[in-house]
Amino acid sequence: MTPEAAAARRTRLTPERERELYQAVIELLREVGYEALTMDAVAARTRASKATLYRQWKGKPELVATALRHHKPGSLADIDTGSLPGDLHELVRFHDESEVKRDQELMRGLAHAAFRNEDLFRALRELLIEPELVNFRDLVQRAVDRGELAADSPAGEFLPHMLFGAALARPIIEGVDPDPEYSHRFIDAVVVPALRLS
């Protein structure tokens, strides 16, 4: 389901009610994980009927993916500092360090579940990952339009891979989670040189 179609199905919920529901989904994910989370538990936590939940979302995968999308503190679509390095550093500043640690634990659990659950994998791709990849492409195009980045830069298409790869690799290689200081250093030492920004 596209984000637009999902939004159309949610017309019966007020924005405040939506926020409450999404927050409850995130809390339940952190408490019990994806596999143990049920629509019954979400309905009970939010004092909503299961019929309401299923009317607005196709099922648990779509509800979880949509909640995650709305849980993000900010999006690349909201950032335009006038330079690509500035945009990337601003993205890091969007995230509170304590929340980042909790979200990394949450996303590790969801990644594991997604590779075992095709419906969850598809919902995360359609509702969470693909829209953000569009934002990354727009970010790169703005840099090209400003003359910072060559249009044929071979590293441009790998910008998301570099950023997400660094976040995933540090716990494995160093045994610690990424923090803002690490992320800022990585941008300056790896991402900017790889892009050969002018």
Q: How far apart are CA 84 and CA 173, in angstroms?
A: 28
User: How does pLDDT run across 93-132, given as a tens digit for each residue?
Assistant: 887 666 666 777 788 889 889 999 999 999 999 999 999 9
Ordered DSSP codes for 100-157: HHHHHHHHHHHHHHHTT-HHHHHHHIIIIIHHHHHHHHHHHHHHHHHTSS-TT-TTGG
User: How does pLDDT run across 54-67, given as a tens digit for each residue?
Assistant: 888 889 999 999 99
> Nearest 5°: CA angle at 47, between 46 and 53?
70
Residues in the chain, total: 198
- What is the C-alpha R_g of the chain? 18
67 and 26 Cβ atoms separated by less than 8 Å = yes
Strand segments, DSSP code E, in the chain are: none
Whole-angstrom CA distances from 139 to 82, 91, 142, 145, 165 are 10, 11, 5, 10, 18
User: How does pLDDT run across 30-48, given as a tens digit for each residue?
Assistant: 999 999 999 999 999 998 8
pLDDT surpasses 90 at 3: no
The pTM score is: 0.80
